[in-house]
Each structure stands twice: as C-alpha cells, then as structure tokens.
Structure 1
Amino acid sequence: MKQTAFEPGDRVVLPPYGIGVVSSICLRPVAGEDHAYYQVDFPNTSSRAFVPVASPDIAGMRAALTAHDMPALLDSLKTSRLNLPRQWAARHRRVTEILVSGNPFELAILTCELRRWNVERGLPDLDRQAFRRAIKLLEQEVSGLQDDGAHDVQQLLVHAWNETPQAVAAD
C-alpha cells in the first residue's frame, strides 16, 4: 500500500475527498516558480485537486487499495477488536481521528468494533453515523476492484449496513 511516486491512471486516496485518479502531472506557477503537481480527478464529480509531486504524503495522498490487499482487509472486518473508550467525548475523539485518517485498515477495525456494538446493543445516533461513515469510506476504497476478495468485502459491508441490533430484531 505504501507508494510515493504516482503515474497517470493510478487510483489514489486523498482524505477527506476520497478515491481519485491521477490524470496528469503538470507544472503550476507558485511565487514565480514552476512546481510539479499531480492532478487528481474524482470520479462522478467535477472536482479536482493538485497535490505537490515532491510531497504527496504531506497532503495525505496514498495509493488506493488493490486486490492484493483484500484478504487482509476482509480479515480485519471480520475479526478485529478495538478498545474504544466508553465515555462518549473520548470515544468521539478517537473515532473522529480514525475517520479523518482514511487508513482503510483502521477503518476496517473501527467498522468491526462498531458492528459488534450495533449487533449486541444498538448504537447511539453519533456512533451509528460514524459506523455508516466508516462503511461508506471502505465501500469507496473497494469500488472499482473486480476481484473475488473485493466482492466479499462489499458483501460484508452491505450486510453490516443493514444489520439490526439483536434486541430490536427479537421484538
């Protein structure tokens, strides 16, 4: 997943914007000097971003997941544990850090833990919003991959999205 040099056509993630595609490398003037930038276009929108070629990591840009990453992602979604604080303010800070990071493996661990909480007892509104945001971010990351592992991840995410707490399901 670690990559620092990108080529046109590469799928990348640029938090908080999501999945984009490097469409070109261009020169743009800044303070009278030309600097090289990746032009990142975001599918299904007219949005684009320019990320310095010299430091894409500072902007948070990283390579998107590939089919090779799917088994580990699926395992994280199924079996991970995360010790989230019970106190709401501390939990909210931790969850927000994970969501903002955009790290798919951290998102998968958070999704697994919130899914467990949702099934066991239901989620309060803000935790449910975070759970759904994590699912959406992971769905974005996996979309476009044509692989059995990606399909399995997508199916698990759809299932998690539609699950109801056991107490509610029993009524």
Structure 2
Amino acid sequence: MKSSSFQPGDRVVLPPYGIGVVCGTCQRPVAGESHAYYQIEFPNTASRAFVPVAAPEGAGMRAALTTADMPHLLKRLQVGQELNLPRQWAARHRRVTEILVGADPYELATLTCELRRWNIERGLPDLDRQAFRRAIRLLEQEVRGLEDQCAQDVQKLLGHAWDETPN
C-alpha cells in the first residue's frame, strides 16, 4: 500500500464509505483559518468527502490495494489464518464490527476466512451472515477494477465463498 501523499486519480479507502477517488485538493475555512483538504468522490454515488491533507490517516483514509498487493491478499484468503472470535454473541459482534469499520483488507480477509469456515461447519446465524457478506463486499470493492490474474483469482474466491452452503 502507498504512502499517505495522494494525487488526483488515486484510489483510496475511507471507512466507512468505502472506495473513492481523489479528485484534487481544495481550501476550506475552519474556525476562521483556511485548511487544505483532499476532495474524495465515490463512484456511482453523489457522495463527496473532504479529508485534511495534513492528517489523512486521522480520518482513516488509506491507499486502496493495488495489483502488487493481490498475491498477499490471495494468500491470506487461501491459507485462512484462524481468528479467535468470541463465542458469546455480544463480544463477537463488537470484534467483528471493529474489523469491518477499520476496513483493513488483510483483517477483512482473515475475518472472511473464519466466517466462511463457520458457515461450512454449521451455518451462520443471521447477523454473522450479514457480517460475512459485508466483509466480502468490502474486499470485492477494493479488488474491483484491478485487471491482473491474481485480482481475478481473488474475485473468484470471494464469489465462491459466498455461494458455499453448510455441510
């Protein structure tokens, strides 16, 4: 993943909004002072966000995955590191929500693998199924538009994971 200096046209992730594109920078007044902001637009929506140039990581903004990141993501999805999720629903829900909101693609991949394993073993309760679907969607968003073979393999694996049924 790239550094925190963004240029127009860069794909970025801004939790909880998802994938956006840097359209440029602008000056906006805050408390009587002018500050520079990245202007982020989100494809297929009229949504727009402004993120401080001085501290984009403070808003959670990061560079979207690139084709160079795909082998590591694919490996994470295939190997399926175990995630020790609490069995008690409330604690599990808190942990899963933290991962989804944080939108770290490698944590999302680990969560996807764990929920996939649970789904195959015994099926998922409704809220866990919703979290599973959301993790897959967030990963699909980030991989969409990348054209290399590894990205296509990631997309196929994610599609297959959702279509599996419990034993």
TM bracket, shorter-chain basis: over 0.9
C-alpha deviation, 1:77, in angstroms: 1.0
Match of 1:162 in 2: 163
Report whether the alignment pairs 1:16 with 2:16: yes
User: Residue in 2 aligned with 1:106?
Assistant: 107
1:57 CA drift (Å): 0.4
Partner residue of 2:74? 74
How do 1:33-52 and structure 2 match up within 5 A? Answer: 33-52=33-52
Pairwise CA distance, 1:7:
0.5
Structure 1 stretch 85-94 or stretch 150-159: which is displaced more?
85-94
TM-score normalised to structure 2 length:
0.97
Distance in 2 (alpha carbons) for counterparts of 1:40 and 1:21: 5
Confirm whether residue 149 of structure 1 aligns to residue 158 of structure 2. no
Aligned to 1:93: 94
Alignment partner of 2:56: what SS? coil
Q: Residue 90 of structure 1: CA displacement?
A: 1.1
Overall identity of the aligned pairs, in %: 76
User: Matched residue of 1:29: which SS?
Assistant: strand
Greater shift, 144-153 or 28-37, is seen at 28-37
1:32 is displaced (CA, Å) by 2.0
C-alpha displacement at 1:98, in angstroms?
0.4
Letter aligned with residue 35 of structure 2? H
TM-score by length of 1: 0.95
Letter in 1 for 2:112: T
CA distance in 2, matches of 1:89, 1:33: 43
Which stretches in structure 1 are left out of the alignment for 5+ residues?
167-171
Aligned to 2:7: 7
Which SS does the other structure have where 1:40 is aligned? strand
Q: Deviations over 1:19-62 (max 9, x none)?
A: 00000111111122211100000001111000000000000000
Question: Equivalents in 1 of 2:107, 2:2: separation in Å?
Answer: 15
CA RMSD of aligned residues (A): 0.8
